[in-house]
A and B are shown apart, each in its own frame.
Chain A
Amino acid sequence: MENIDSSPTEPPAKSSWLRVLAIGANPRTTVVRALISAVILVVLFRFVMLPVRVSGISMQPTYRNGTINFVNRAAFWFREPRRSDVVGYAITGQSAMLFKRVIALPGETIQIRDGVVFINERELDEPYLKYRAAWNTKPIAVGTNEYFLIGDNRGMSQGDHDFGRGLREHVVGKALW
């Protein structure tokens, strides 16, 4: 027995362009895409690219106070920090970090004489420096699991600038730009 629908057939409802723009041609696909995108963004910005706002003047003029940047954790998954890398250095966690430049590597000896940095008694070329006050330190041996970190604003008072040896496990990642 055939079942014949005798009601008049209506043309299929056409999606309005506004509806397509808002939720896509297929809402189910749109929801799946949105969920996948949300998961990717959460993972990316929580575990790989950590957003930071630079506070303070110790990295001027490279990074000004209030600049937004990202700490790229993936940068050091396959290689160790290199000289002149700008890195995020965790304090007791990753909610607040120092933003500093690596200038001496594990096993090296660093000394600052009249504002000029010497690594193993050889002068370090620092093209990123704009200000240089007459800072002085005694020779400092960097340990095997340490890096020597310092800011780019060497025109400020030495006593007001946080710099020195930091442990490798506190180096979170590299500044994205």
Chain B
Amino acid sequence: MRRVFQIVLVLVVLGAGAWLWKTVFPSDQARILSLLKALANDATLPAGEGNFGRIRRIERLTSSLSPDVAILVAPFGGRSVEISGRDEVMQAAMAARGAATSIKVEFLDIVVTSIDPSAGAADAVLTAKIQAGTDRDFGIQPLKVSLRKDKEFGWRISRIESTRILNPE
């Protein structure tokens, strides 16, 4: 019995060590996943949030983008949006937040498709789920996200573009 207890204790210590190591020194993939989840959270606009909170969200949102970020989104059946540069993103985010009462953004099924640490470049695909107001219906948009690694700031998003699910041609 004592032997079993010792083995279990060793396994628990090893597990805790591995968890701590991953938390303190996350892999590039873990950093990218965390960045994208934070981006979805910052793109969300909770109902009843004050102006100060909204501005903080927008600041966090833009800080995860590279200064020359390019966003090309053509939602299905909707008007395409093309934004270049972090300042333009900030203005668009301010305008969107002024118009909408609440927006819920989730990034589902994030897959990091390639990472090249030497070149400091990575790509990921994800499904954005966007729900406006108290509406039960939601919009789905698959996105391809390109990231660049900055020595000072770490991973940042350099390009977001929408992709089609089915090929009509």
Contact = CB atoms under 8 A, between A and B. Distances in A.
Interface string A76-99: 000000000000011111111010
A95 B127 contact: yes
A160 B139 CA distance: 13
B168 A95 contact: no
A140 interface: yes
B126 to A, nearest CB: 6
B61 to A, nearest CB: 21
Contacts of A163: 166, 168
Interface string B108-142: 11110000000000000111010000001110101
Interface string B135-169: 01110101000000000000000000000111111
B77 interface: yes
Contacts of A55: 137-138, 140
A12 to B, nearest CB: 33
Contact of B76 (A66, A100, A160): A160
B167 A96 contact: no
Given A65-B137, A91-B109, A162 B142 contact: no
Contact of A91 (B137, B138, B140, B168): B140
A169 to B, nearest CB: 13
A100 B137 CA distance: 18
Contacts of B111: 92-93
A92 B125 contact: yes
Contact of A93 (B109, B136, B137, B166): B109
A4 B127 CA distance: 75
Contacts of B140: 55, 91, 96
B166 A66 contact: no
A94 B76 contact: no
A137 interface: yes
8 contacts: A91-B165, A95-B108, A149-B166, A157-B77, A162-B164, A162-B166, A165-B166, A166-B167
Given A96-B109, A164-B167, 15 more contacts: A55-B140, A65-B137, A66-B136, A89-B166, A92-B111, A95-B109, A95-B127, A96-B129, A96-B140, A98-B166, A149-B166, A157-B77, A165-B168, A166-B165, A166-B166
